[in-house]
């Protein structure tokens, strides 16, 4: 049982659930708006996203195992719940799930998904400890809406503007995530973006970016007359989730996870 718990923790279940949830929400709504999308395409697209999250989450713990042994010994590998080789096998299994699912969807979803996971691998193995730590978040999350649209077989134009909006939000997510481990990263000499900004400025920047995205997009849809009640309710839910995050990085991180799902659904409804 302890090994099973360790394996579950390796995939970082909270962010994995958020990314898979928002992918399912976006895929379902886009499919409903387009009409004629086969349910199996939605299922395989979401399965591919799940595989990518398993692959990158387990690889992250494998890559950070020596650092974690010094500053976060309760994590699955240093705690002895799973071995480094088990983490690598789980990562490869996730990648296999992603590739097998994507092969059934066509070359474009396969290529977009592999580009997204390659960016995340670069973060895990190198960029997470450098001032460029935010770049993989911009790339991987920027590609996600395009990946979802390609996977279910709808025109990419339907989500063409999404990567531009995802950028600031992805940066906010990265800062909130790394600020949670600020002391541990500082202890091992990490020079990621949060370390350069400092804890207080980093939190202010992350909170401002996330709130700015929600308020800006909501205002745009309101002016255009496209912000109907269901989308507005989801938008407000996301704003409240982010707003409470001003209390600290852990609360902001959780708020961003909630907002990611709520705003994805709100955007898809309002743009339909």
Domain-wise residue ranges, the chain:
1-160, 161-272
Q: Whose structure tokens read 């202890």?
A: 187
User: Has residue 269 got a pLDDT over 80?
Assistant: no
Mean pLDDT, rounded, for 104-120:
97
pLDDT of 271:
67
Mean pLDDT, rounded, for 40-66:
97
Q: How confident is the model at residue 241 (pLDDT cuts 50, 70, 90)?
A: very high
Q: What percent of the chain has pLDDT over 70?
A: 99
What CA–CA distance (Å, rounded) separates 141 from 136? 8
Mean pLDDT, rounded, for 216-234:
83
Q: How confident is the model at residue 231 (pLDDT cuts 50, 70, 90)?
A: confident
pLDDT of 158:
85
User: Has residue 141 got a pLDDT over 80?
Assistant: yes
The per-residue pLDDT of the chain, averaged, comes to: 92
User: Has residue 85 got a pLDDT over 80?
Assistant: yes
What CA–CA distance (Å, rounded) separates 262 from 214? 10
Longest dimension (CA), the chain: 56
User: Has residue 18 got a pLDDT over 90?
Assistant: no
Mean pLDDT, rounded, for 218-242:
87
Mean pLDDT, rounded, for 154-182:
90
Q: Are 159 and 149 in contact (CB under 8 A)?
A: yes
pLDDT of 135:
96
221, HSE (Cβ side, Cα atoms, 13 Å)? 21
Q: What percent of the chain has pLDDT over 90?
A: 74
User: Has residue 110 got a pLDDT over 90?
Assistant: yes
State the Cα angle at 103 between 139 and 53, rounded to 5°.
45
Nearest to 154 by CA among 45, 57, 263, 266: 45
**pTM (two decimals):** 0.90
Q: Are 161 and 244 in contact (CB under 8 A)?
A: no
Residue 50 burial by CB count (10 A; 0-12/13-18/19+): exposed, middle or buried? buried
User: Has residue 229 got a pLDDT over 70?
Assistant: yes
How far is residue 125 CA from its own chain's centroid? 17
User: Has residue 264 got a pLDDT over 80?
Assistant: no
User: Has residue 263 got a pLDDT over 80?
Assistant: yes
Mean pLDDT, rounded, for 85-90:
97
What CA–CA distance (Å, rounded) separates 30 from 89? 34
Q: Are 88 and 121 in contact (CB under 8 A)?
A: no
Mean pLDDT, rounded, for 30-39:
90
Which one has a higher pLDDT value, 2 or 209?
209
Decide yes or no: CATH 2.40.50.140 for domain 1-160.
Answer: no
Q: Which of 20-29, 39-48, 93-102 has the lowest mean pLDDT?
A: 20-29
């Amino acid at each position: 049982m302890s090994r099973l718990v360790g394996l579950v923790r390796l995939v970082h279940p909270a962010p994995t659930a958020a990314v898979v949830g928002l992918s399912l929400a976006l895929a379902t709504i886009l499919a409903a708006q387009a009409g004629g999308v086969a349910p199996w395409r939605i299922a395989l697209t979401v399965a591919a996203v799940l595989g990518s999250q398993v692959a990158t989450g387990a690889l992250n713990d494998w890559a950070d195992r020596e650092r974690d042994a010094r500053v976060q010994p309760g994590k699955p590998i240093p705690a002895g719940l799973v071995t480094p080789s088990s983490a690598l096998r789980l990562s490869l299994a996730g990648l296999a799930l992603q590739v097998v699912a994507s092969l059934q969807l066509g070359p474009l979803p396969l290529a977009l998904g592999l580009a997204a996971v390659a960016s995340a691998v670069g973060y895990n193995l190198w960029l997470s400890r450098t001032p460029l730590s935010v770049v993989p978040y911009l790339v991987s999350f920027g590609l996600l809406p395009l990946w979802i649209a390609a996977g279910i077989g709808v025109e990419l134009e339907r989500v063409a503007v999404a990567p531009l909006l995802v950028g600031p939000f992805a940066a906010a997510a990265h800062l909130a995530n790394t600020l949670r481990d600020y002391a541990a990263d500082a202890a091992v000499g990490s020079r990621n973006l949060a370390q350069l900004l400092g804890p207080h400025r980093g939190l202010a920047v992350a909170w401002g970016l996330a709130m700015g995205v929600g308020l800006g997009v909501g205002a745009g849809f309101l002016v255009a007359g496209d912000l109907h009640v269901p989308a507005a309710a989801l938008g407000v839910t996301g704003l409240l989730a982010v707003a409470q995050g001003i209390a600290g990085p852990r609360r902001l991180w959780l708020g961003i996870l909630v907002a990611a799902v709520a705003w994805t659904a709100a955007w898809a409804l309002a743009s339909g």
